[in-house]
Amino acid sequence: MNRTDATACPHCGWPDGGEPFQVLSRHATATGRTEWTRCGCGSLQVRVVDGTGTRVVSRGRPAAEPGAVSR
């Protein structure tokens, strides 16, 4: 059975178990693979895919809109 954690992107609500908007890279590991992905809102995610399923282990914030003031 393939397990995915029942969580969602805190920035846009896209479910983590769904397909990412864009896969940036995939890297084989001893237990499966690590994927760097980009969510539809623009946030970067690091996903671990192994025998227990897929889970997001780290995520960034969406990039600021061009011209937006950072606070």
Tell me: the pLDDT tens digits for 1-20? 344 445 888 999 988 877 77
- Which value, to the nearest 10 degrees, does the dihedral of the CA atoms of residues 7, 1, 46, 59 take? 10
Arithmetic mean of pLDDT, 43-50: 94
Residue 37, classed as helix, strand or coil, is strand
- pLDDT at position 1 is 35
| Strand 3-4 to 53-59 pairing | parallel
